[in-house]
Structure 1
Amino acid sequence: MSTRARATAAEIVLPCLDLEPAVDFFTERLGFGLDMIMPADDPAVAVLSGHGVRIRLDRDGVGDPGMLLLSGEGFAAEQLTAPNGTRIHLLDAAAPLVVPDSPPIFELSRPDGSAGGVGRAGMYYRDLLPARQGGRFIASHILIPEGGPVPDYVHHHRIRFQMIYCAAGWVRVVYEDQGQPFVLEAGDCVLQPPNIRHRVLESSANLEVIEIGSPAEHETGIDRVLSLPTPDVRPERCFSGQRFVLHRAATASWQPWRIAGFECRDTGIGAATEGLAGARVVRPGGPAARGTAVSGPAADGSAAPELASHNGELQFWYILAGTATLSIEGRTDEPLSKGVAVAVPPGMSHRLTGPSGDLELLEVTLPALLEESPDEAQQAAAKGGPCRS
């Protein structure tokens, strides 16, 4: 194509031996409009457009009649076949997000020295949950080796839950209705509510972030219209029942964790998701949060408590620094060190032992509070106030 040439239209060519019934089907059944037909005395070609697609039905066309996906509000999932053989799949655009109904499983992954595979915008992705909990969750270690501008674009994710934790380096990002671009530094994190528009602008060399989301496979939509930053600043805005969260490590306060001898800084994600999910950074120190340790020993060297379990959907740990040992009933002890990720399913008796003084781990749980009563969980979720659209 010449450098001066510029495309002005694009068409999908579908073979069609009998034009009249096919045109009737596409216009009357599917809502396309007829733009052109030729020749008048013996029609062999018809061009139709609608729903963002332009189709050319050609009597002399060759090849497979193809498949067309049509989505819209109120559509019942249905499969049709046009008179020319084109397969039509009707999808409900407003259908609820599907999360696979898979039972939680034990997963543990260790860094293998590789950067991972190249994913979106040239970022390197390493899967922290290789089995992805049967499709319910994805956890990724994302690396950008070379600093500078990131070839990203305004996009959004159709998800149930997603958060980003900056483990090393820094990254400059911008989010819909959250003001000017800002820098995430090591220890900071954000909650990305469903479908919030955002963009990665630039990063330091060797940026490392941990991303956890549900479901594992989800749509990433590209927004070619919206410009960021948006003129309005609405930190209280609700996106499908969740509010944006920016957690700063430098100004965070530490409080007792649910396990004796540890303390944590909570990210506020539990309140912003109304109890759906929670995230916190944990280190040795502080008295027991509520008297009795739940799933680990005292970090101060006192006797380890009995093995215990949780009843939540997800308990995910990622070791940010230091070492410890994960003891699981009926299994060999697992040494934990920087870069190790582990998901412990509900009902599996376990405890955390022998933490080094510099241990830090990122914990992500669904729901936000694993052991609290329903009343306590509701009170914790209410701390963030109502979520307003």
Structure 2
Amino acid sequence: MSLNSLASTIEGAQLVLRCKNLNDSINFLTTRLGFKVRMIMPSEAPTIAVLSAHGCTVRLEMVPNATPDAAHLRLLCKPALLPAGTPPRLSGPDGMVVDLVDAHAPVHVPPAVQEFVLTRLAGPESWGVGRAGMLYRDLIPSRLNGRFVASHILLPQGGPVPDYVHYHRVRFQVIFCKAGWVRLVYEDQGDPFVLQAGDCVLQPPEIRHRVLESSGGAEVVEIGCPAIHETHGDPGMHLPTGAWLPERSYDSQKFVRHVAAATPWGPSRLPGFEARDTGISAATEGLGGVRVLRPATGPANAAVESEALGAPGAHQGEFLFLFVLAGQCELGSTVLGQHALHAGDSCVLPAGADYRVSPAPGLELLEVTLPARLPA
């Protein structure tokens, strides 16, 4: 194997270091040595981070009871251009390990697993510290085999948010503002804007963005696929870019900013409900849909059942997620049981299971579905 032919395929390198506490290692590298965070994952409870400075890139991997070991390099390459017969792992002197990694590997989406998930809003113990000092509440602890993550995020302190320009390698990602407000800016989507309670955004794959500031106690609900995905910093990108390109495609998706106050209510797929559609279905070419539901006015405002063929109240989609934004309701099912849901509670309803939603006055539900139109 020619050294020159191998070198020509490499696009970057990472020195892998194991650590016992990720935050302590990040703080040391950033405050003492001038490193900057380039990637961190997963957002809700980080265990891996990539930092760089001085021509060096370090990948920190948190391992309980870690002990120092031999150097481990990851070289980011174009596998198709590697010399024939090149193994994916090379061994060097003194136990050094060099892994040749695809620099442009597609996002891995694990196989779907259908199950019923019910999460209640509990006390402070249910929140954990995540990226940029934000507090995270895990709404799908099982991750449905790693396919989906849903987080209830709290920004406890108002004012500037210690965020940086970054992007996510995802298949699908939505941010819904539940309470307060958050000021955001996105690549090629004009000036910074304020996301108010009831508003939401579709974050297409790898769109650069930044959280600038928030009201004290602001809350957002974030849904992503796959569950564990990379968040990369982009220090070379300055936002806003000065451009407004609403038709720009990011991996076949368009950016969406849904403003609740400017959107009328319309029919819902659930009889007895009306819906405020966010436009995300069209922007993702039917991949996913996001709506806010409330009881329709009139006599239909009673126990309602989802549309289905052959199995009333069941769907055959990939993902159906409900989050109670306000009020309360009763969720009933012959196979899932009876459950009272209150503000802050959420559930994932598996394909094939019948269900009924009986609303109380004042109910508002956030509904996220993949695909946008659930097959019956």
Alpha-carbon offset, residue 133 of structure 1: 1.1
Residue 138 of structure 2 corresponds to residue 127 of structure 1: yes
- In the alignment, the residues of structure 2 paired with residue 28 and residue 322 of structure 1 have an alpha-carbon distance, to the nearest angstrom, of 64
Change (3 A) 1:78 1:181: same
- In the alignment, the residues of structure 1 paired with residue 357 and residue 149 of structure 2 have an alpha-carbon distance, to the nearest angstrom, of 23
Change (3 A) 1:319 1:198: same
Aligned AA (1:118): V
Picking from 364, 367, 381, the partner of 2:368 is 364
- In the alignment, the residues of structure 2 paired with residue 269 and residue 284 of structure 1 have an alpha-carbon distance, to the nearest angstrom, of 22
Q: Which residue of 2 aligns with 1:44?
A: none
Contact 1:255 1:286 in 2 (8 A): no
Residue 327 of structure 2 corresponds to residue 322 of structure 1: yes
Alpha-carbon offset, residue 65 of structure 1: 3.6
Q: Which residue of 1 aligns with 2:302?
A: 301
Alpha-carbon offset, residue 29 of structure 1: 4.4
Residue 267 of structure 2 corresponds to residue 267 of structure 1: no
- In the alignment, the residues of structure 2 paired with residue 144 and residue 104 of structure 1 have an alpha-carbon distance, to the nearest angstrom, of 31
The farther-off stretch of 361-370 and 342-351 is 342-351
- In the alignment, the residues of structure 2 paired with residue 233 and residue 270 of structure 1 have an alpha-carbon distance, to the nearest angstrom, of 21
Higher relative contact order (CA 8 A, sep 6+): 2
- In the alignment, the residues of structure 2 paired with residue 174 and residue 87 of structure 1 have an alpha-carbon distance, to the nearest angstrom, of 40
Q: Which residue of 2 aligns with 1:221?
A: 232
Q: Which residue of 2 aligns with 1:281?
A: 292
Alpha-carbon offset, residue 102 of structure 1: 3.8
- In the alignment, the residues of structure 2 paired with residue 169 and residue 266 of structure 1 have an alpha-carbon distance, to the nearest angstrom, of 21
Aligned-pair identity (%): 51
Picking from 62, 68, 72, the partner of 1:67 is 72
Contact 1:307 1:351 in 2 (8 A): no
- In the alignment, the residues of structure 2 paired with residue 363 and residue 263 of structure 1 have an alpha-carbon distance, to the nearest angstrom, of 12
- In the alignment, the residues of structure 1 paired with residue 191 and residue 168 of structure 2 have an alpha-carbon distance, to the nearest angstrom, of 21
- In the alignment, the residues of structure 2 paired with residue 259 and residue 30 of structure 1 have an alpha-carbon distance, to the nearest angstrom, of 58
- In the alignment, the residues of structure 2 paired with residue 273 and residue 117 of structure 1 have an alpha-carbon distance, to the nearest angstrom, of 31
Aligned AA (1:314): F
Which secondary structure state, in structure 1, belongs to the residue aligned with residue 184 of structure 2?
strand
1:243-292, Cα deviation, whole Å (9 max, x unpaired): 000000001111111111110010000000000000000000058xxxxx
Aligned AA (1:205): G
Picking from 178, 198, 205, the partner of 1:187 is 198
Which secondary structure state, in structure 1, belongs to the residue aligned with residue 210 of structure 2?
strand
> Which sections of structure 2, spanning at least 5 residues, go unmatched?
11-54, 59-67
Alpha-carbon offset, residue 80 of structure 1: 1.9
Contact 2:149 2:224 in 1 (8 A): yes
Q: Which residue of 2 aligns with 1:109?
A: 119
TM-score (structure 2 length as normaliser): 0.78
Which secondary structure state, in structure 2, belongs to the residue aligned with residue 348 of structure 1?
coil
1:178-233, Cα deviation, whole Å (9 max, x unpaired): 01100010000000000000000110011000000011100000011110000221
Q: 1:88-167 residue pairs with structure 2 within 5 A?
A: 88-114=98-124, 116-167=127-178
Change (3 A) 1:303 1:218: closer
- In the alignment, the residues of structure 2 paired with residue 304 and residue 228 of structure 1 have an alpha-carbon distance, to the nearest angstrom, of 45
Q: How many equivalent residue pairs?
A: 312
Which secondary structure state, in structure 1, belongs to the residue aligned with residue 144 of structure 2?
helix
Change (3 A) 1:302 1:103: closer
Alpha-carbon offset, residue 358 of structure 1: 0.4
TM-score (structure 1 length as normaliser): 0.75
Alpha-carbon offset, residue 67 of structure 1: 1.2
- In the alignment, the residues of structure 1 paired with residue 164 and residue 205 of structure 2 have an alpha-carbon distance, to the nearest angstrom, of 17
1:98-138, Cα deviation, whole Å (9 max, x unpaired): 01114121101001122611111110000011111111011
The farther-off stretch of 108-117 and 188-197 is 108-117
Change (3 A) 1:277 1:228: same
Aligned AA (1:276): L
Picking from 251, 256, 265, the partner of 1:240 is 251
Q: Which residue of 2 aligns with 1:292?
A: none
Contact 2:278 2:291 in 1 (8 A): yes
Q: Which has the larger radius of gyration?
A: 1
- In the alignment, the residues of structure 1 paired with residue 141 and residue 210 of structure 2 have an alpha-carbon distance, to the nearest angstrom, of 26
Alpha-carbon offset, residue 28 of structure 1: 6.6
Contact 2:336 2:353 in 1 (8 A): no
The farther-off stretch of 201-210 and 88-97 is 88-97
Alpha-carbon offset, residue 95 of structure 1: 1.8
Which secondary structure state, in structure 2, belongs to the residue aligned with residue 205 of structure 1?
coil
Alpha-carbon offset, residue 85 of structure 1: 3.1
